[in-house]
Amino acid sequence: MPEAVRIDGKGFADGLRARIAAAAEAFALHAGRRPGLAVVLVGEDAASQVYVGAKGRACIEAGIASFEHRLPATTGAAELLVLIERLNRDPEVDGILVQLPLPEGLDEQAVIAAIDPDKDVDGFHVINAGRLSVGQEGFVPCTPLGCLMLLRDHLGDLSGLEAVVIGRSNIVGKPMAQLLTDANATVTIAHSRTRDLPEVVRRADIVVAAVGRPEMVRGDWIKPGATVIDVGINRLPPTEDRPKGRLVGDVAYAEALGVAGAITPVPGGVGPMTIAVLLRNTLVAAHRHAGMDAPSGI
């Protein structure tokens, strides 16, 4: 059997970002302002600072206004909620993203609930989760929507395909299952209590692995010819050859290459899609706020 096709998430994301930039320029000409994304970072978490910086640069490249609010770790809940309410009312802000995790003592669910659902471009608000579950227009979390885009680009129509989503988080697993169901796939959500997980996975035409356990899904779990979307990104302990450790997904990539029909690499697969879809959601929010139809092709 030939090696699996490597699904180029970075290439797809680059193309999506170029289309977003063109659409953002057209929006600015029509609306007299750029789409705006406000990102709130509380505390000094190193990884979060990197992510926020990357999001700011991506906004600028796409012609989206970036409003960064960096608050000390000592920020109280009341102060944070006042800022969110101000952003909810700000007509220049179309999307609001509060970078997680928050420092200890701040209630993440209460903070997310304070964001206007129509500015919740992360798609984490319970109202947007409810909209997704009943098929209404809302915002979908960026990573699963990016996964769906990659699947449709590679496979086209997903109707009738059997899909297994490994992981049941609110951020990836549950919305991913809903998106696949809406695309007319037959979906199983697998998790830590699933009996005979390898056998469940072997049934799947589509496997989405989102458990955060390095190389948990082995090559012999994969149905020959299946399409594998690896959401995981895990850093292995450092070695003499790799003093910073090696990045791997939730799937044993080298093993799966010889069995799957197509697979996303780590890095370079799902990861680049997340920020691209965040920009896409912000652009869609801007069009909705301006009473305009969102552009096609994004």
Beta strands in the chain (DSSP E): 5-6, 36-42, 65-71, 95-98, 162-166, 186-190, 206-209, 227-230, 234-235, 247-248, 262-263
How many residues would you count in the chain?
Answer: 298
Q: Which tens digit of pLDDT belongs to each residue from 185-228?
A: 999 999 989 999 999 999 999 999 999 999 999 999 999 999 99
Residue 87 falls inside a structural domain: yes
pTM higher than the cut 0.85: yes
Look at residue 46 and tell me whether its pLDDT is greater than 90: no
Confidence of residue 5 (pLDDT cuts 50, 70, 90): very high
Of 116, 134, 160, the one marking the end of a domain is: 116
- Tell me if residue 286 falls in helix, strand or coil: helix
**Residue-number span of the structural domain to which 106 is assigned:** 32-116
Clarify whether residues 66 and 153 are in a common domain.
no
Clarify whether residues 111 and 148 are in a common domain.
no
Clarify whether residues 232 and 266 are in a common domain.
yes
Average confidence (pLDDT) over 270-294: 96
Clarify whether residues 108 and 156 are in a common domain.
no
pLDDT at residue 2 in the model? 86
Residue 241 falls inside a structural domain: yes
pLDDT at residue 72 in the model? 95
Our answer to whether residue 109 is catalytic in this structure is no
Clarify whether residues 156 and 210 are in a common domain.
yes
The catalytically annotated residue of 8, 94, 99, 205 is 99
Provide the domain count of the chain. 2
Clarify whether residues 152 and 268 are in a common domain.
yes
Average confidence (pLDDT) over 157-164: 98
Of 81, 116, 151, the one marking the end of a domain is: 116
pLDDT at residue 241 in the model? 81
Residue 79 falls inside a structural domain: yes
Our answer to whether residue 250 is catalytic in this structure is no
Average confidence (pLDDT) over 29-53: 93
Our answer to whether residue 99 is catalytic in this structure is yes
pLDDT at residue 245 in the model? 78
Residue type, 130: G
pLDDT at residue 278 in the model? 98
Residue 187 falls inside a structural domain: yes
The catalytically annotated residue of 8, 55, 94, 118 is 55
The catalytically annotated residue of 8, 120, 122, 205 is 122
Q: Residue 96 maps to which CATH number?
A: 3.40.50.10860
